Amino acid sequence: MNVNINDILTLDNDMEYIVCSKIDYNNDDYLYLININNNLDFKILKYNKNTETLIEVNSEKIQVLLPLFYKVGIKNFNDLINSFSKDS
């Protein structure tokens, strides 16, 4: 299974989350998920491609990953803005 941005995942708590961002850090995939019914409920999880499992990330790792998710978000936003500029 390949997990992509905008995929909906149902976690062990039976809640559905949308994949808002995905980064590669030290050859591991990390996902930024937001509950589709409560945008205050978010998770950052490591995705193990071999076992197709999601693993909770500790707070120390989250502090490292958040700036990386931010950089990816800014790049994606700028790419989107630039695509509109090229269309005009």
The pLDDT of residue 80 = 83
Reported as a single tens digit per residue, the pLDDT across 48-82 is: 988 889 999 999 999 999 999 999 989 888 888 88
With beta carbons less than 8 A apart as the criterion, state whether 9 and 19 touch.
yes
DSSP state of 14: S
For the cut 80, the answer to whether the pLDDT of residue 87 exceeds it is no
CA 3 – CA 22 distance, rounded (Å): 9
pTM (predicted TM-score): 0.84
Specify the DSSP element, H or E, that contains 35: strand 28-35
For the cut 70, the answer to whether the pLDDT of residue 12 exceeds it is yes
Residue count (the chain): 88
Q: How many helices (H) and strands (E) does the chain have?
A: 1, 5
User: Predicted confidence band at 88 (pLDDT cuts at 50, 70, 90)?
Assistant: low
Reported as a single tens digit per residue, the pLDDT across 19-57 is: 999 999 998 999 999 999 999 999 999 999 888 899 999
